[in-house]
């Protein structure tokens, strides 16, 4: 895309690659449940992850089919569920107060927005400080769309001894995490076996989604909100934020992080 660039005090015409952003409808049984603005990639993973984190399903085995249909102005991701799940969703829709939107989709009350989070295992994953730094560095290196555009978020799943096993990108941070969760589920990985790393701030929804995946450690390059910290504490999640270079801050459950053997990583 053409642009006028000002660099080092000089103005000139230049070209810039920018990411696509399109309306993406997520539909169940022929009815639209939510419309998200997002990057038109990894939509099968998006459908799986969104369905899990919005409690439409409890396992991706309950999805029978996913079809992506091109519309005039966007994409319709049509998700076919097992019959009992389709009926449960129809009943849920009958009680919804109004339209839904990005962030807290299908939510009709404050109580639903503040839904209880799963309690995470206290004996599972532990990381060293160097592994936290490695997760963030590796995530930055594994974002081809971000390197081209500087305009998308990334989410990665880091497993000790294996490194990043999945990375997904999107213009929306929630979408990137949903896509990652769908990818992790499709790979048959146990969410408790790895940490989630994201290139964004940590809001309460990010904590809720990571907890639904079952990951006990959430790492971010930016700061958390106070509600995100309280929710992570409630879930028993280790929340690591402001992770940049070899620096990071631990806000909850520091017992999962070994800070005694931190060596500089060149």
Distance CA(91)–CA(81), nearest Å, equals: 14
Name the token pair of 36.
């998200």
102 carries an active-site annotation: yes
Q: How far apart are CA 217 and CA 224, in angstroms?
A: 14
Sheet containing strand 163-170, strands side by side: 163-170, 153-159, 195-198, 217-220, 238-244, 247-252
Sign, CA dihedral 193-129-210-171, equals negative
**Residue whose pair of structure tokens reads 């799940």 in the numeric block:** 85
24 and 42 Cβ atoms separated by less than 8 Å: no
The DSSP letter of residue 188 is T
Name the H helices within 114-248: 129-141, 144-149, 173-186, 204-213, 226-235
β-strands 22-28, 31-38 pairing:
antiparallel
* Active-site option among 102, 151, 242, 262: 102
Render 229-265 in DSSP notation, one character per residue.
Answer: HHHHHHHT-EEEEEEETTEEEEEE-GGGEE-TT----
Q: For residues 253 and 123, what is the distance between their CA atoms, to the nearest angstrom?
A: 12
Give the catalytic positions in this structure. 102
């Amino acid at each position: 895309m053409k642009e006028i660039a000002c660099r080092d005090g000089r103005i000139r015409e230049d070209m810039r690659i920018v990411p696509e952003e399109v309306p993406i409808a997520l539909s169940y049984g022929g009815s639209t449940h939510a419309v998200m603005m997002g990057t038109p990639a990894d939509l099968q993973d998006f459908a799986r992850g969104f369905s899990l984190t919005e409690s439409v399903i409890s396992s991706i085995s309950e999805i029978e089919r996913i079809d992506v249909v091109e519309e005039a102005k966007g994409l319709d991701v049509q998700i076919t569920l097992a019959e009992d799940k389709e009926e449960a969703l129809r009943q849920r829709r009958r009680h919804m107060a109004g339209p839904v939107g990005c962030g807290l989709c299908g939510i009709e009350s404050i109580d639903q927005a503040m839904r209880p989070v799963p309690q995470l295992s206290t004996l599972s994953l532990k990381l060293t400080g160097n592994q936290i730094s490695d997760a963030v560095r590796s995530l930055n290196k594994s974002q081809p769309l971000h390197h081209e555009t500087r305009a998308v978020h990334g989410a990665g799943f880091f497993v000790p001894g294996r490194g990043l096993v999945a990375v997904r990108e999107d213009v929306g941070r929630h979408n990137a995490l949903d896509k990652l969760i769908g990818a992790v589920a499709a790979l048959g990985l146990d969410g408790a076996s790895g940490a989630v790393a994201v290139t964004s701030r940590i809001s309460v929804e990010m904590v809720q989604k990571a907890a639904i995946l079952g990951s006990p450690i959430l790492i971010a390059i930016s700061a958390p909100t106070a509600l995100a910290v309280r929710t992570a504490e409630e879930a028993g999640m280790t929340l690591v934020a402001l992770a940049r270079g070899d620096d990071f801050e631990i806000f909850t459950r520091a017992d999962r992080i070994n800070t005694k053997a931190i060596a500089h990583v060149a």
